[in-house]
Structure 1
Amino acid sequence: MELIGVSRDARGVAEISLRRADKHNALSAQMMTELEATARSLAADAEVKVVVLSAEGKSFCAGGDLAWMRAQFEMDRATRREESSRIAKALGALYALPQPLIGKVQGNAFGGGLGLISVCDIALAAEGVKFGLTEVKLGLIPANIGPYVIARLGAVKAQEIFMNGRIFGAAEAVALGLVNRAVAPDDLDEAVAAEVALPLACAPGAVRDAKALLRRLAGEVTDAEVEGAIDALADRWETSEAQEGIAAFFDKRPAPWA
């Protein structure tokens, strides 16, 4: 079963959709592998002018799949590091898209879901959606997504949500810069369509070059930053807090620090 869908239309619009609605689109190993491959394929397609990132079901993305995370405790450090870097690779492929990437956030987004939003050039969310970097509640840290979250929000705004795990709404997500606009749920499709129409009315080569220039001027996420974040998460996995936090989640009991 494919967990990432992709469609293209005659205008040159491609849509990537997360298709694991029964698990709130939590990012599994298969899902991240498919997402990376899909992004790389679209990046190489000269006929694609705009890419939309969406999700099926009630949730946009609940973050990393905790069963997949729990399985990593049985791995040695090198294997665990490679496994946990899957999300960094998927995000990196989306971030590297030469076409504008527009996020359609119809439901709640936590953890890795914020990483997906952060690599979008424009993100629109439905009013009522909830967000949060909840990793620290589990004894983990928002590491692999960190370079992209901070690149989007900046350090000052990122520190409001990066290390406290609190849940916030769509209005605050706009104020932080995580999403560009929040609209009524019934208006989300129309708002995304209007956003898609803007680059379609421009010279496609100029749009790509403008995006590349913007990235260079703003300061691109570097390979060194990504590798450093992967190492930071590998270190955190070695701690008793991480083991206790994940175990508490599966046992449906409060973590020791809660």
Structure 2
Amino acid sequence: MTELVHRNVEDGVATVTLDSPRNRNALSARLLADLDAHLRAALADDAVRVIVLTGTGPVFCSGADLKEQRDPDSAPVTASMPDVLTMIWESPKPVVCRLNGTARAGGIGLVTACDFAIAPDTATFAFSEVRLGVVPAMIAVPVLRRVNPRAAAEYFMTGEVFDAAKAVEIGLLNRAVPEDELDSAVRHYTGMLVKGGPEALAITKNLLRELPGVEFAEGLRRMADLSAERFTSAEGQEGIAAFMEKRPPRWVPC
């Protein structure tokens, strides 16, 4: 059976591609299982420093597979949307979403679980769930951590389509660029990310998630301890030595 997700590794970057254009890369049981497997493989591969999530065709991801939702016994479920969203959100390796096009509903959940998101300026977005009589439930968890609350309320409740410029404005995307600049924009991010220490990047991701909820004085105490620990760590010492010796650190892919 043909895989609905593919993975390619080059120069420390694993590109994981949704490849089910016939149904607009809908989140079928098969696609979720393949996506789960390829994400796990990328996370386990020491040669991979950064993960890029993208798709084929004019649509990045259209959300849930509605045909399967009408017949939930039509395909065995081996991986769940919560599992995939959690894996992306908690990944110690940075995840960059390269939107090849439009995203809808659950597809936007994948976008917001990633650390960075870049889309062509022609892409459109919509939380279409309420118009089907359902709710943007699971995806609300990452979306509400990225998107302006007023905007989230507006688009969750109206289902209105909005463009890439608005997606940047409300915090859904980092950048919207002309289609012919998409790959160079993604390389801009991945090229910078592979220069960071793997441990430092993983810890910084965790810091960004947890620190805003910590009381101010307690946060300073914890961060002072963390700063001292990282300066004396093997990775920190290698980074300092590389800077002083004017060479790339050992973790930068050749």
How far did 1:127 drift? Answer: 0.7
In structure 2, the partner of 1:14 is 14
Structure 1 218/123 Cα, relative in aligned 2: closer, same or farther at 3 Å? farther
| Counterpart residue number, 2:190 | 196
| Distance verdict in 2 for CA 1:116–1:218, change over 3 Å | farther
Whichever residue aligns with residue 192 of structure 2, its letter is: L
User: Which residue pairs with 1:159 in the alignment?
Assistant: 153
The alpha-carbon deviation at position 199 of structure 1 amounts to 1.1
Find the aligned partners of 1:179 and 1:133 in 2 and give their Cα distance.
15
The correspondence of residues 1-80 of structure 1 with structure 2, limited to 5 A, is 1-9=2-10, 11-72=11-72
In the TM superposition, residue 133 of structure 1 has moved relative to its aligned partner by: 0.5
Deviation of the 1:49 alpha carbon? 0.7
Question: Offset of 1:181 from its aligned partner?
Answer: 0.7
In structure 2, C-alpha distance between the alignment counterparts of 1:67 and 1:144, rounded to whole Å? 19
- Residue in 1 that maps onto 2:200: 206
AA of the residue aligned to 2:153: Q
Paired residue total: 212
Q: Does 1:87 align with 2:85?
A: no
2:173 corresponds in structure 1 to: 179
Give unpaired runs (5+ residues) of structure 1.
76-81, 220-258
Letter in structure 1 aligned against 2:87: A
Matched with 2:99 is 105
Map Cα deviations across residues 195-238 of structure 1 (whole Å, 9 max, x no partner).
1101112222212221122122246xxxxxxxxxxxxxxxxxxx
Q: 1:99–1:207: 8 Å Cα contact kept in structure 2?
A: yes
Report the Cα offset of residue 90 of structure 1: 1.6
Which aligned runs of 4 or more in structure 1 are off by greater than 6 angstroms? none
Shift of 1:185: 0.5
Larger relative contact order (CA 8 Å, sep ≥ 6): 1
Task: Mark the CA change 1:44 to 1:147 in structure 2 (over 3 Å): closer, same or farther.
Answer: same
**C-alpha distance in structure 2 between counterparts of 1:52 and 1:116, whole Å:** 12
Q: 1:67 to 1:84 in 2, by over 3 A?
A: farther
TM-score between the two structures when normalised by the length of structure 2: 0.78
In 1: Cα distance, 2:212 partner to 2:32 partner: 27
Q: Contact 1:85–1:144 (CA<8 Å) still a contact in 2?
A: no
**Residues 148, 85 of structure 1: alpha-carbon distance in 2 compared, 3 angstrom cutoff:** farther
In the aligned structure 1, how far is the partner of 2:60 from the partner of 2:128? 15
Q: Aligned ranges for residues 138-153 of structure 1 at < 5 Å?
A: 138-153=132-147
Structure ID, larger Rg: 2
TM-fit CA distance, 1:46:
2.7
TM-score, normalised on structure 1? 0.77
Q: Sequence identity of aligned pairs in percent?
A: 37
Tell me the alpha carbon deviations over residues 145-169 of structure 1, each in whole angstroms, 9 at most, x when there is no partner: 1101111115333112112111000
SS of equivalent residue, structure 1 residue 216: helix
Of 110, 121, 132 in structure 1, the residue corresponding to residue 126 of structure 2 is 132
* Alignment match, 1:121: 115
SS at match of 1:145: helix
Checking the alignment, whether the CA contact within 8 Å between 1:16 and 1:53 is kept in structure 2 is yes
Aligned mates of 2:78, 2:64 — CA distance in 1: 9
- Once the two structures are superposed, residues 106-128 of structure 1 have per-residue CA deviations (whole angstroms, 9 ceiling, x without a partner) of 21100111001001111001011
Q: What is the SS of the residue equivalent to 1:106?
A: coil
On the 8 A contact 1:36/1:91 being kept in 2, the answer is no
Kept in 2: contact 1:36–1:90 (CA 8 A): yes
Whole-Å separation in 2 of the counterparts to 1:218 and 1:50: 25
Inter-partner Cα distance in structure 1 for 2:69 and 2:80: 12
Flag structure 2 segments of 5+ consecutive residues without an equivalent: 214-254
Q: Aligned partner of 2:6: which letter?
A: G
